[in-house]
Chain A
Amino acid sequence: MERILYFPGCALKDQARGYEEASLAALAKLGYEVKELPRWNCCGTVYSLAQDELMRHVGPVRNLIRAQEEGADEILTLCSMCYNTLRRSARFVEDPESLRRINAFMDDEPDYRGGVEVVHLVQFLEEIGVEKLARAVVRPLHGLRLAAYYGCTLLRPKEVAVDHPDRPEILERLVSTLGAEPVLFPERVECCGAYLTVPRPDIVRERVGEILRSAGLAGAQALLTACPLCKFNLEERRPLGAPRIPVFYVGEALAWALGVREIPAEIGKLLSTGVTG
């Protein structure tokens, strides 16, 4: 069994626990032994955009040092926000001067030597390949019109994008492989409002309305996300009158199709086979 090191982050241990459990079960079914990164800490949630904020990279780089101690050259993330901050910090310290400064600052840690790559579950699945994944599907999601909502952090900025930032297809390939019908909709790569949900819930409610109406018009029966903040906003900031489209995590749909998690009744009744459980 191939071993992979996994960085959970806060949401996967709390409101997105189901995402973690489903993903880990699916990866085990695919033949991977998943080990949780020891002593992981917060990824920082949002990547600092200011040039002089070296301190904001300390948290992410500490996690890379933990991976280095495990002898790993790769860490897997499920949360797209963790993916974004960790991967961008990993890019930031590719610059020798930035790496030197951050190592000098963190004198309580062994020096980070660089070279740990941060990958997201959707990239990991893409690497496994359609053929191997398709062979592992035991309960194809035939008949389900499944729309991937990418949001921001899997696609922007370009240097960490899992696919083309405006015209991604990586999640649609996954949806097809799982047997469901991918649904494209105009808002699929647009922001839900993210953390504005705290200072400006009014704006986020408008955004969520746009996203749900756009997905509804395209005929989506369920939405797929990799972001716990998108899921929170799509569910908790839905304005009155916007279509009620259930939101699931990428790892959940994967686990249904691989037969390691029960298909929820609301999805089961949409499948052409009508099979649930």
Chain B
Amino acid sequence: MAGELSLSRARLEAPFVRKVEELSGQNPYACYQCGKCAAGCLFAEHMDLLPNQVIRLLQLGDEAVLQAKAPWVCASCLACTVRCPKGVDIARIMEALRQMALRQGLSPVQFHLDREYPQIALVGAYRKVTP
């Protein structure tokens, strides 16, 4: 992330970004970094990267975004999605990043199963960590 930054076409076309675009159906380059998604995100304070920073790293082709914890804190509430002035469905980008990790067998999520939950919570939570 830090250090020299080269905006080259080769970097912009990083295969992993293509994969994010394919899985999310979204164009991260449409984002102009207004920060409205981060401003309205109820979970941003628990994220290591703000939602707009996640998009920015995608724009720059920076693979550090694949290690981010932010997508796992996202609750898919879609507040960012309905408010984005560029029509970027940010929640779908977060889902794509989760899916890319899950499909490699990675899941940084730990469930607290020492207590009782209604089905609606368990099914919802498990579906979010199922590749």
Contact = CB atoms under 8 A, between A and B. Distances in A.
Interface of A: 10-11, 14-15, 42, 44-46, 48-52, 56, 79, 81, 152, 155-158, 165-166, 190-191, 193-201, 203, 207, 210, 228-229, 232
A48 to B, nearest CB: 8
Interface stretch (B6-14, B30-38, B55-63, B91-99): B91-99
Interface residues of B, number: 40
Interface of B: 22-25, 42-43, 46, 72-73, 75-79, 81-83, 89, 91-92, 94-96, 99, 109-113, 117-125, 127-128
B82 A44 contact: no
Nearest to A13: B119
Given A157-B81, A199-B111, 18 more contacts: A10-B120, A14-B118, A46-B124, A49-B76, A49-B94, A50-B96, A155-B82, A190-B79, A191-B77, A193-B43, A194-B77, A195-B125, A196-B43, A198-B122, A199-B109, A201-B112, A228-B120, A232-B121
Contact of B120 (A52, A81, A166, A196): A81
A82 B86 CA distance: 29
Helix, strand, loop or mixed for chain A's interface? Answer: loop
Given A52-B23, A156-B78, A44 B96 contact: no
Give the top 4 A-B pairs by smallest Cβ distance, nearest first. A191-B77, A195-B124, A49-B95, A198-B125
A71 B65 CA distance: 49
A247 to B, nearest CB: 14
B121 A198 contact: yes
A199 B82 contact: no
20 contacts: A11-B118, A45-B127, A46-B127, A49-B89, A49-B95, A50-B23, A50-B96, A81-B120, A156-B78, A191-B43, A193-B43, A194-B124, A196-B43, A198-B121, A198-B125, A200-B46, A203-B43, A228-B118, A229-B120, A232-B121
A228 B121 CA distance: 9
A42 B94 CA distance: 25
Given A191-B75, A194-B76, A51 B25 contact: yes
Contacts of A232: 117-118, 120-121
B123 A193 contact: no
Contacts of A11: 118-120
Nearest to A161: B82
